[in-house]
Amino acid sequence: MKSINQLNNQKVLVLGLAKSGVSAAKLLHNLGALVTVNDGKPFNENPEAQELLELGVTVITGSHPIELLDEGFTLMVKNPGIPYTQPMVARALELNIPVITEVELAYLVSEAPIIGITGTNGKTTTTTMIANVLNQERKLGQARLAGNIGFPASNVASQAQKEDVLVMELSSFQLKGIEKFHPHIGVITNLYEAHLDYHGSREDYVASKWHLQKNMDAHDFLVLNWQQAELRELAQTTKATVIPFSAEEKVAGAYLADGALYYQDEFILNADELGVPGKHNIENALAAIAVGKLQNQETKAIATALKNFHGVAHRTQFVREVSGVKYYNDSKATNILATQKALAGFDRTKVILLAGGLDRGNSFDALVPTLTGLKAIILFGETKGKLQEAAKKAGISDITMVEDVVAGAKLANQKAIKGDIVLLSPANASWDQYPNFEIRGQKFMDAVNAL
Protein backbone atom coordinates (compact mmCIF):
# COMPACT_ATOMS: atom_id res chain seq x y z
CA MET A 1 0.00 0.00 0.00
CA LYS A 2 1.24 3.47 -0.88
CA SER A 3 2.03 5.69 2.06
CA ILE A 4 -0.03 8.84 1.57
CA ASN A 5 -0.49 11.71 4.00
CA GLN A 6 -3.11 13.83 2.23
CA LEU A 7 -5.88 12.42 4.44
CA ASN A 8 -3.99 12.68 7.72
CA ASN A 9 -6.02 14.67 10.30
CA GLN A 10 -8.72 15.36 7.69
CA LYS A 11 -12.32 15.09 8.87
CA VAL A 12 -14.01 12.49 6.66
CA LEU A 13 -17.62 11.33 6.74
CA VAL A 14 -18.37 7.78 5.57
CA LEU A 15 -22.06 7.59 4.63
CA GLY A 16 -23.50 4.06 4.63
CA LEU A 17 -21.72 0.93 5.71
CA ALA A 18 -22.08 -2.52 4.09
CA LYS A 19 -18.83 -4.08 2.87
CA SER A 20 -17.43 -1.08 1.02
CA GLY A 21 -18.26 1.40 3.80
CA VAL A 22 -16.57 -0.70 6.47
CA SER A 23 -13.52 -1.15 4.26
CA ALA A 24 -13.34 2.59 3.49
CA ALA A 25 -13.69 3.55 7.16
CA LYS A 26 -10.91 1.19 8.25
CA LEU A 27 -8.57 2.39 5.50
CA LEU A 28 -9.24 6.05 6.27
CA HIS A 29 -8.67 5.42 9.98
CA ASN A 30 -5.34 3.73 9.19
CA LEU A 31 -4.36 6.69 7.00
CA GLY A 32 -4.80 9.03 9.97
CA ALA A 33 -8.12 10.58 8.97
CA LEU A 34 -10.59 11.68 11.63
CA VAL A 35 -13.41 9.37 10.57
CA THR A 36 -17.11 9.62 11.34
CA VAL A 37 -19.43 6.90 10.11
CA ASN A 38 -23.13 7.51 9.59
CA ASP A 39 -25.43 4.55 8.93
CA GLY A 40 -29.21 4.22 9.04
CA LYS A 41 -29.32 0.87 10.80
CA PRO A 42 -29.75 1.08 14.61
CA PHE A 43 -26.56 0.50 16.60
CA ASN A 44 -27.80 -2.63 18.40
CA GLU A 45 -28.53 -4.24 15.01
CA ASN A 46 -25.31 -3.01 13.43
CA PRO A 47 -22.26 -5.23 14.10
CA GLU A 48 -20.21 -3.30 11.53
CA ALA A 49 -20.76 -0.04 13.42
CA GLN A 50 -19.95 -1.77 16.72
CA GLU A 51 -16.67 -3.05 15.29
CA LEU A 52 -15.69 0.40 14.01
CA LEU A 53 -16.51 2.03 17.35
CA GLU A 54 -14.10 -0.37 19.06
CA LEU A 55 -11.40 0.80 16.62
CA GLY A 56 -11.93 4.39 17.72
CA VAL A 57 -14.07 5.56 14.82
CA THR A 58 -16.92 7.96 15.63
CA VAL A 59 -20.19 6.19 14.86
CA ILE A 60 -23.65 7.74 14.40
CA THR A 61 -26.43 5.28 13.58
CA GLY A 62 -30.19 5.01 13.31
CA SER A 63 -30.75 8.18 11.27
CA HIS A 64 -29.00 10.68 9.03
CA PRO A 65 -28.92 14.01 10.93
CA ILE A 66 -28.33 16.74 8.36
CA GLU A 67 -26.73 19.00 11.01
CA LEU A 68 -23.83 16.53 11.14
CA LEU A 69 -22.50 18.24 8.01
CA ASP A 70 -21.88 21.43 10.02
CA GLU A 71 -18.85 19.79 11.66
CA GLY A 72 -16.35 20.83 8.99
CA PHE A 73 -15.86 17.66 6.95
CA THR A 74 -13.43 17.96 4.04
CA LEU A 75 -14.57 14.76 2.30
CA MET A 76 -17.56 12.42 2.08
CA VAL A 77 -17.16 8.78 1.06
CA LYS A 78 -20.61 7.45 0.28
CA ASN A 79 -21.92 3.96 -0.33
CA PRO A 80 -22.32 3.67 -4.13
CA GLY A 81 -25.98 2.69 -3.83
CA ILE A 82 -26.97 5.91 -2.04
CA PRO A 83 -28.34 8.31 -4.68
CA TYR A 84 -27.13 11.88 -5.03
CA THR A 85 -30.65 13.07 -4.23
CA GLN A 86 -30.34 11.71 -0.68
CA PRO A 87 -30.50 14.76 1.67
CA MET A 88 -27.07 14.21 3.26
CA VAL A 89 -25.39 13.86 -0.14
CA ALA A 90 -27.25 16.79 -1.66
CA ARG A 91 -26.33 18.99 1.33
CA ALA A 92 -22.67 17.95 1.13
CA LEU A 93 -22.58 19.02 -2.51
CA GLU A 94 -24.21 22.35 -1.61
CA LEU A 95 -21.41 22.87 0.92
CA ASN A 96 -18.80 21.99 -1.75
CA ILE A 97 -17.68 18.93 0.20
CA PRO A 98 -16.20 16.47 -2.35
CA VAL A 99 -18.29 13.29 -2.54
CA ILE A 100 -16.43 10.17 -3.70
CA THR A 101 -16.92 6.43 -3.67
CA GLU A 102 -14.62 3.86 -2.14
CA VAL A 103 -12.91 2.93 -5.44
CA GLU A 104 -11.29 6.38 -5.47
CA LEU A 105 -9.61 5.55 -2.16
CA ALA A 106 -8.46 2.24 -3.64
CA TYR A 107 -6.72 4.04 -6.48
CA LEU A 108 -5.01 6.48 -4.13
CA VAL A 109 -3.34 3.71 -2.09
CA SER A 110 -2.83 0.95 -4.67
CA GLU A 111 0.73 0.01 -5.56
CA ALA A 112 -0.64 -2.37 -8.21
CA PRO A 113 -1.88 -1.21 -11.62
CA ILE A 114 -5.64 -1.33 -12.14
CA ILE A 115 -7.69 -2.96 -14.87
CA GLY A 116 -11.22 -1.52 -14.64
CA ILE A 117 -14.21 -3.30 -16.18
CA THR A 118 -17.65 -1.76 -16.58
CA GLY A 119 -20.70 -2.04 -18.84
CA THR A 120 -24.39 -2.79 -18.54
CA ASN A 121 -24.11 -6.57 -18.80
CA GLY A 122 -21.26 -9.06 -18.61
CA LYS A 123 -19.13 -7.17 -16.09
CA THR A 124 -18.81 -9.96 -13.55
CA THR A 125 -18.17 -12.68 -16.11
CA THR A 126 -15.62 -10.59 -18.01
CA THR A 127 -13.88 -9.51 -14.81
CA THR A 128 -13.56 -13.12 -13.66
CA MET A 129 -12.41 -14.28 -17.10
CA ILE A 130 -9.70 -11.60 -17.12
CA ALA A 131 -8.44 -12.56 -13.66
CA ASN A 132 -8.33 -16.23 -14.69
CA VAL A 133 -6.49 -15.38 -17.91
CA LEU A 134 -3.89 -13.28 -16.06
CA ASN A 135 -3.40 -15.84 -13.29
CA GLN A 136 -2.94 -18.78 -15.69
CA GLU A 137 0.71 -19.89 -15.32
CA ARG A 138 1.53 -16.55 -13.66
CA LYS A 139 4.96 -16.57 -12.03
CA LEU A 140 5.09 -13.22 -10.23
CA GLY A 141 2.31 -11.67 -8.17
CA GLN A 142 -1.37 -12.31 -8.81
CA ALA A 143 -4.41 -10.80 -10.50
CA ARG A 144 -6.70 -9.84 -7.63
CA LEU A 145 -10.47 -9.50 -8.05
CA ALA A 146 -11.84 -6.28 -6.59
CA GLY A 147 -14.75 -3.87 -6.62
CA ASN A 148 -18.38 -4.52 -7.48
CA ILE A 149 -17.66 -8.25 -7.78
CA GLY A 150 -17.87 -8.58 -4.00
CA PHE A 151 -14.36 -7.70 -2.76
CA PRO A 152 -14.17 -4.08 -1.50
CA ALA A 153 -11.67 -2.29 -3.70
CA SER A 154 -10.02 -0.31 -0.89
CA ASN A 155 -9.42 -3.48 1.11
CA VAL A 156 -7.88 -5.36 -1.84
CA ALA A 157 -5.82 -2.32 -2.87
CA SER A 158 -4.39 -1.91 0.63
CA GLN A 159 -3.11 -5.51 0.51
CA ALA A 160 -1.84 -5.59 -3.09
CA GLN A 161 1.84 -5.59 -4.01
CA LYS A 162 3.55 -3.90 -6.99
CA GLU A 163 3.76 -7.25 -8.80
CA ASP A 164 -0.01 -7.73 -8.57
CA VAL A 165 -2.74 -6.29 -10.75
CA LEU A 166 -6.21 -5.27 -9.55
CA VAL A 167 -8.96 -6.59 -11.81
CA MET A 168 -11.77 -4.33 -10.71
CA GLU A 169 -15.45 -4.57 -11.61
CA LEU A 170 -16.94 -1.09 -11.57
CA SER A 171 -20.59 -0.03 -11.52
CA SER A 172 -21.95 3.26 -12.80
CA PHE A 173 -22.70 4.11 -9.16
CA GLN A 174 -19.01 3.72 -8.25
CA LEU A 175 -17.68 5.51 -11.33
CA LYS A 176 -19.93 8.53 -10.78
CA GLY A 177 -17.93 9.20 -7.61
CA ILE A 178 -14.34 9.30 -8.89
CA GLU A 179 -11.89 12.18 -9.29
CA LYS A 180 -8.35 10.91 -9.93
CA PHE A 181 -9.11 7.20 -10.46
CA HIS A 182 -6.88 6.04 -13.30
CA PRO A 183 -6.83 2.45 -14.60
CA HIS A 184 -4.06 1.38 -16.95
CA ILE A 185 -6.55 -0.73 -18.91
CA GLY A 186 -10.28 -0.05 -19.08
CA VAL A 187 -12.95 -2.34 -20.52
CA ILE A 188 -16.53 -1.45 -21.45
CA THR A 189 -18.48 -4.60 -22.26
CA ASN A 190 -21.57 -2.83 -23.66
CA LEU A 191 -23.94 0.07 -22.97
CA TYR A 192 -27.70 -0.24 -22.70
CA GLU A 193 -30.37 1.59 -20.71
CA ALA A 194 -30.26 0.76 -17.00
CA HIS A 195 -30.56 2.21 -13.49
CA LEU A 196 -32.60 5.20 -14.63
CA ASP A 197 -34.25 5.31 -11.19
CA TYR A 198 -30.80 6.18 -9.79
CA HIS A 199 -29.29 8.28 -12.58
CA GLY A 200 -32.42 10.09 -13.68
CA SER A 201 -31.50 9.88 -17.37
CA ARG A 202 -29.73 7.64 -19.82
CA GLU A 203 -27.28 10.48 -20.48
CA ASP A 204 -26.16 10.54 -16.85
CA TYR A 205 -25.87 6.74 -16.80
CA VAL A 206 -23.65 6.68 -19.92
CA ALA A 207 -21.60 9.63 -18.69
CA SER A 208 -20.96 7.80 -15.40
CA LYS A 209 -19.78 4.70 -17.27
CA TRP A 210 -17.57 6.86 -19.50
CA HIS A 211 -15.89 8.30 -16.39
CA LEU A 212 -13.83 5.10 -16.50
CA GLN A 213 -11.49 6.70 -19.04
CA LYS A 214 -11.56 10.33 -17.87
CA ASN A 215 -8.00 10.25 -16.48
CA MET A 216 -6.52 7.84 -19.03
CA ASP A 217 -3.96 8.92 -21.64
CA ALA A 218 -2.26 7.51 -24.74
CA HIS A 219 -0.15 5.17 -22.59
CA ASP A 220 -3.35 3.48 -21.37
CA PHE A 221 -5.66 1.12 -23.22
CA LEU A 222 -9.44 1.24 -23.54
CA VAL A 223 -11.03 -2.03 -24.70
CA LEU A 224 -14.42 -1.33 -26.31
CA ASN A 225 -17.28 -3.37 -27.78
CA TRP A 226 -17.07 -2.30 -31.44
CA GLN A 227 -20.49 -3.78 -32.19
CA GLN A 228 -22.09 -0.75 -30.58
CA ALA A 229 -22.28 2.47 -32.57
CA GLU A 230 -22.49 4.48 -29.35
CA LEU A 231 -19.14 3.16 -28.14
CA ARG A 232 -17.55 3.72 -31.56
CA GLU A 233 -18.67 7.36 -31.33
CA LEU A 234 -17.49 7.75 -27.74
CA ALA A 235 -14.13 6.28 -28.76
CA GLN A 236 -13.47 9.49 -30.70
CA THR A 237 -13.47 11.47 -27.44
CA THR A 238 -10.92 9.54 -25.35
CA LYS A 239 -7.19 10.16 -24.99
CA ALA A 240 -6.60 6.44 -24.33
CA THR A 241 -5.42 4.00 -26.99
CA VAL A 242 -8.58 2.20 -28.15
CA ILE A 243 -8.55 -1.59 -28.64
CA PRO A 244 -11.80 -2.83 -30.25
CA PHE A 245 -13.43 -6.24 -29.94
CA SER A 246 -16.26 -7.67 -32.02
CA ALA A 247 -18.14 -10.92 -32.56
CA GLU A 248 -19.55 -9.55 -35.83
CA GLU A 249 -16.60 -8.31 -37.88
CA LYS A 250 -12.82 -8.34 -38.10
CA VAL A 251 -11.33 -5.43 -36.13
CA ALA A 252 -7.85 -4.26 -35.15
CA GLY A 253 -8.13 -6.05 -31.82
CA ALA A 254 -10.01 -9.20 -30.74
CA TYR A 255 -12.66 -10.70 -33.00
CA LEU A 256 -14.66 -13.77 -34.02
CA ALA A 257 -14.17 -15.16 -37.54
CA ASP A 258 -15.22 -18.54 -38.98
CA GLY A 259 -16.05 -19.94 -35.55
CA ALA A 260 -12.69 -18.98 -33.98
CA LEU A 261 -11.44 -16.19 -31.70
CA TYR A 262 -8.47 -14.12 -32.85
CA TYR A 263 -6.35 -11.24 -31.67
CA GLN A 264 -4.83 -9.17 -34.46
CA ASP A 265 -4.82 -12.14 -36.87
CA GLU A 266 -3.46 -14.57 -34.28
CA PHE A 267 -5.64 -17.62 -33.60
CA ILE A 268 -6.44 -18.01 -29.90
CA LEU A 269 -9.06 -20.81 -29.69
CA ASN A 270 -12.24 -22.07 -31.31
CA ALA A 271 -15.49 -20.56 -30.07
CA ASP A 272 -16.92 -23.99 -29.24
CA GLU A 273 -13.98 -24.60 -26.90
CA LEU A 274 -15.13 -21.87 -24.50
CA GLY A 275 -16.22 -23.27 -21.14
CA VAL A 276 -19.46 -21.22 -21.14
CA PRO A 277 -22.22 -21.10 -23.77
CA GLY A 278 -23.73 -18.16 -25.64
CA LYS A 279 -22.79 -15.35 -28.02
CA HIS A 280 -22.59 -12.94 -25.10
CA ASN A 281 -19.83 -15.07 -23.59
CA ILE A 282 -17.93 -14.94 -26.87
CA GLU A 283 -18.00 -11.15 -26.51
CA ASN A 284 -16.85 -11.43 -22.89
CA ALA A 285 -14.04 -13.78 -23.93
CA LEU A 286 -12.90 -11.41 -26.68
CA ALA A 287 -12.56 -8.62 -24.13
CA ALA A 288 -10.57 -10.95 -21.87
CA ILE A 289 -8.33 -11.97 -24.77
CA ALA A 290 -7.59 -8.32 -25.55
CA VAL A 291 -6.61 -7.63 -21.94
CA GLY A 292 -4.51 -10.80 -21.78
CA LYS A 293 -2.59 -9.77 -24.87
CA LEU A 294 -2.11 -6.21 -23.60
CA GLN A 295 -0.66 -7.75 -20.44
CA ASN A 296 1.71 -9.90 -22.53
CA GLN A 297 0.09 -13.17 -21.48
CA GLU A 298 1.01 -16.25 -23.54
CA THR A 299 -1.58 -17.32 -26.11
CA LYS A 300 -1.64 -20.88 -24.82
CA ALA A 301 -2.30 -19.66 -21.27
CA ILE A 302 -5.16 -17.42 -22.47
CA ALA A 303 -6.76 -20.32 -24.34
CA THR A 304 -6.36 -22.69 -21.40
CA ALA A 305 -7.96 -20.24 -18.97
CA LEU A 306 -10.96 -19.65 -21.25
CA LYS A 307 -11.46 -23.37 -21.90
CA ASN A 308 -11.47 -24.03 -18.16
CA PHE A 309 -13.79 -21.14 -17.28
CA HIS A 310 -17.27 -22.47 -16.47
CA GLY A 311 -19.02 -19.31 -15.36
CA VAL A 312 -19.49 -17.32 -12.18
CA ALA A 313 -21.99 -17.72 -9.41
CA HIS A 314 -25.53 -16.67 -10.39
CA ARG A 315 -24.59 -15.91 -14.03
CA THR A 316 -25.81 -18.79 -16.24
CA GLN A 317 -24.24 -21.01 -13.58
CA PHE A 318 -24.64 -24.73 -14.14
CA VAL A 319 -26.14 -26.20 -10.97
CA ARG A 320 -26.55 -29.91 -11.71
CA GLU A 321 -28.20 -32.47 -13.95
CA VAL A 322 -31.17 -34.45 -12.61
CA SER A 323 -32.58 -37.34 -14.69
CA GLY A 324 -31.17 -35.84 -17.86
CA VAL A 325 -32.48 -32.32 -17.11
CA LYS A 326 -29.87 -29.53 -16.74
CA TYR A 327 -30.50 -26.72 -14.26
CA TYR A 328 -28.94 -23.26 -14.60
CA ASN A 329 -28.92 -20.37 -12.12
CA ASP A 330 -28.88 -16.95 -13.80
CA SER A 331 -30.23 -14.98 -10.84
CA LYS A 332 -27.90 -12.09 -11.69
CA ALA A 333 -30.11 -11.40 -14.74
CA THR A 334 -31.83 -8.42 -13.12
CA ASN A 335 -32.94 -6.81 -16.40
CA ILE A 336 -34.51 -7.81 -19.71
CA LEU A 337 -31.28 -7.69 -21.71
CA ALA A 338 -29.50 -10.10 -19.38
CA THR A 339 -32.32 -12.64 -19.76
CA GLN A 340 -32.27 -12.20 -23.53
CA LYS A 341 -28.56 -12.98 -23.56
CA ALA A 342 -29.00 -16.03 -21.32
CA LEU A 343 -31.76 -17.50 -23.51
CA ALA A 344 -29.66 -16.93 -26.63
CA GLY A 345 -27.27 -19.62 -25.37
CA PHE A 346 -29.88 -22.41 -25.43
CA ASP A 347 -32.35 -24.18 -27.70
CA ARG A 348 -35.50 -22.41 -26.47
CA THR A 349 -37.79 -25.27 -27.41
CA LYS A 350 -36.21 -27.23 -24.56
CA VAL A 351 -36.14 -24.40 -22.00
CA ILE A 352 -38.42 -24.03 -18.98
CA LEU A 353 -37.82 -20.45 -17.84
CA LEU A 354 -38.31 -19.15 -14.28
CA ALA A 355 -38.74 -15.37 -14.23
CA GLY A 356 -40.16 -12.49 -12.20
CA GLY A 357 -39.32 -10.10 -9.38
CA LEU A 358 -39.41 -6.43 -8.41
CA ASP A 359 -41.84 -4.24 -10.36
CA ARG A 360 -40.00 -1.10 -11.50
CA GLY A 361 -42.86 0.05 -13.69
CA ASN A 362 -41.49 -1.16 -17.02
CA SER A 363 -43.28 -3.40 -19.52
CA PHE A 364 -41.82 -6.60 -20.95
CA ASP A 365 -42.74 -6.13 -24.61
CA ALA A 366 -39.05 -6.10 -25.54
CA LEU A 367 -38.75 -9.61 -24.10
CA VAL A 368 -41.58 -11.10 -26.21
CA PRO A 369 -39.46 -12.11 -29.26
CA THR A 370 -36.98 -13.87 -26.98
CA LEU A 371 -39.74 -15.75 -25.14
CA THR A 372 -41.21 -17.08 -28.39
CA GLY A 373 -40.68 -20.81 -28.70
CA LEU A 374 -40.09 -21.56 -25.00
CA LYS A 375 -41.33 -24.94 -23.81
CA ALA A 376 -42.79 -23.40 -20.64
CA ILE A 377 -42.50 -20.40 -18.35
CA ILE A 378 -42.94 -20.29 -14.57
CA LEU A 379 -43.51 -16.86 -13.04
CA PHE A 380 -43.17 -15.39 -9.53
CA GLY A 381 -42.84 -12.06 -7.75
CA GLU A 382 -44.43 -8.65 -8.32
CA THR A 383 -44.05 -8.73 -12.10
CA LYS A 384 -45.60 -12.14 -12.71
CA GLY A 385 -48.79 -10.58 -14.09
CA LYS A 386 -46.90 -8.40 -16.57
CA LEU A 387 -44.72 -11.33 -17.59
CA GLN A 388 -47.81 -13.48 -18.07
CA GLU A 389 -49.06 -10.96 -20.63
CA ALA A 390 -45.68 -11.00 -22.40
CA ALA A 391 -45.67 -14.80 -22.41
CA LYS A 392 -49.16 -14.85 -23.94
CA LYS A 393 -48.02 -12.44 -26.68
CA ALA A 394 -45.07 -14.79 -27.31
CA GLY A 395 -47.48 -17.67 -27.85
CA ILE A 396 -46.31 -19.79 -24.92
CA SER A 397 -48.99 -22.33 -24.11
CA ASP A 398 -47.58 -23.50 -20.76
CA ILE A 399 -47.65 -20.52 -18.37
CA THR A 400 -47.75 -21.07 -14.60
CA MET A 401 -47.53 -18.76 -11.58
CA VAL A 402 -45.93 -19.81 -8.30
CA GLU A 403 -45.06 -18.20 -4.98
CA ASP A 404 -41.26 -18.09 -5.28
CA VAL A 405 -38.17 -19.67 -6.86
CA VAL A 406 -38.28 -22.70 -4.57
CA ALA A 407 -41.81 -23.56 -5.71
CA GLY A 408 -40.70 -22.79 -9.26
CA ALA A 409 -37.83 -25.26 -9.12
CA LYS A 410 -40.10 -28.00 -7.81
CA LEU A 411 -42.72 -27.36 -10.49
CA ALA A 412 -40.10 -27.23 -13.26
CA ASN A 413 -38.83 -30.61 -12.10
CA GLN A 414 -42.33 -32.04 -12.59
CA LYS A 415 -42.67 -30.56 -16.07
CA ALA A 416 -39.20 -31.35 -17.43
CA ILE A 417 -38.19 -34.45 -19.38
CA LYS A 418 -34.76 -35.74 -20.34
CA GLY A 419 -32.91 -33.22 -22.54
CA ASP A 420 -34.72 -30.16 -21.16
CA ILE A 421 -33.13 -27.07 -19.62
CA VAL A 422 -34.49 -25.39 -16.50
CA LEU A 423 -33.23 -21.81 -16.39
CA LEU A 424 -33.70 -19.27 -13.61
CA SER A 425 -33.21 -15.94 -15.41
CA PRO A 426 -35.60 -13.49 -13.72
CA ALA A 427 -35.25 -10.33 -15.89
CA ASN A 428 -35.99 -8.44 -12.66
CA ALA A 429 -34.32 -7.29 -9.48
CA SER A 430 -34.90 -9.48 -6.43
CA TRP A 431 -35.88 -6.98 -3.76
CA ASP A 432 -39.60 -7.74 -3.72
CA GLN A 433 -38.92 -11.16 -2.15
CA TYR A 434 -35.19 -11.47 -1.48
CA PRO A 435 -32.49 -9.15 -0.03
CA ASN A 436 -30.34 -9.59 -3.15
CA PHE A 437 -29.96 -11.70 -6.29
CA GLU A 438 -27.37 -13.92 -4.58
CA ILE A 439 -29.86 -15.13 -1.97
CA ARG A 440 -32.50 -15.62 -4.68
CA GLY A 441 -30.05 -17.73 -6.69
CA GLN A 442 -28.94 -19.70 -3.65
CA LYS A 443 -32.57 -20.51 -2.76
CA PHE A 444 -33.04 -21.86 -6.27
CA MET A 445 -29.83 -23.92 -6.15
CA ASP A 446 -30.73 -25.33 -2.74
CA ALA A 447 -34.13 -26.38 -4.12
CA VAL A 448 -32.50 -27.99 -7.15
CA ASN A 449 -29.94 -29.83 -5.02
CA ALA A 450 -32.79 -31.12 -2.85
CA LEU A 451 -34.63 -32.71 -5.78
Q: How far is CA 333 from CA 116, 359, 379, 412, 441, in A?
A: 21, 14, 15, 19, 10
The C-alpha angle with vertex 193 and arms to 319 and 271, in degrees rounded to 5, equals 45
Rg (CA), the chain: 23
**Residue 401 pLDDT:** 98
Nearest to 336 by CA among 376, 370, 381, 374: 370
Asked if residues 409 and 446 have their Cβ atoms less than 8 Å apart, the reply is: no
DSSP letter at 158 equals H
**Residue 3 pLDDT:** 87
The whole-angstrom separation of Cα 451 and Cα 449 is 6
Count Cβ atoms within 10 A of the Cβ of residue 258 and give its class: 0-12 exposed, 13-18 middle, 19 or more buried.
exposed
pTM of the model: 0.82
What is the greatest pairwise CA distance in the chain?
A: 66
Asked if residues 167 and 312 have their Cβ atoms less than 8 Å apart, the reply is: no
Asked if residues 408 and 383 have their Cβ atoms less than 8 Å apart, the reply is: no
Tell me if residue 361 falls in helix, strand or coil. coil
On whether 123 is known to bind a ligand per the annotation, the reply is yes
Residues 6 or more apart whose CB falls under 8 angstroms from that of 385 comprise none
Q: Where in the chain is the domain with CATH 3.40.50.720?
A: 11-100
Phi, psi dihedral angles at 145 (to 5 degrees): -70, 140
CATH fold of 11-100 reads: Rossmann fold (3.40.50)
- The alpha-helical segments, DSSP class H, found in 31-152 are 47-54, 87-94, 102-109, 123-135
**Residue 316 pLDDT:** 86
Domain range 103-307, CATH architecture:
3-Layer(aba) Sandwich (3.40)
Count Cβ atoms within 10 A of the Cβ of residue 382 and give its class: 0-12 exposed, 13-18 middle, 19 or more buried.
middle
The C-alpha angle with vertex 60 and arms to 21 and 73, in degrees rounded to 5, equals 75
On whether 180 is known to bind a ligand per the annotation, the reply is no
On whether 120 is known to bind a ligand per the annotation, the reply is yes
**β strands within 330-393, DSSP E:** 351-355, 376-379
Q: Where in the chain is the domain with CATH 3.90.190.20?
A: 317-449
On whether 46 is known to bind a ligand per the annotation, the reply is no
Beta-bridge mates of residue 14: 37, 77
Q: Where in the chain is the domain with CATH 3.40.1190.10?
A: 103-307
**Residue 239 pLDDT:** 98
The whole-angstrom separation of Cα 352 and Cα 369 is 16
Phi, psi dihedral angles at 281 (to 5 degrees): -75, -25
Helices (H) and strands (E) in the chain, counts: 17, 20
Tell me if residue 198 falls in helix, strand or coil. helix
Q: How far is CA 187 from CA 65, 116, 140, 256, 425, in A?
A: 39, 6, 23, 18, 25
Domain range 317-449, CATH architecture:
Alpha-Beta Complex (3.90)
**Residue 196 pLDDT:** 81
Average pLDDT per 10 consecutive residues for the chain, totaling 451 residues: 94 94 96 97 94 96 96 97 95 97 97 97 94 97 94 96 98 96 98 86 96 98 98 98 98 98 98 90 97 98 96 86 95 93 91 96 94 98 97 97 98 97 97 95 97 94
On whether 122 is known to bind a ligand per the annotation, the reply is yes
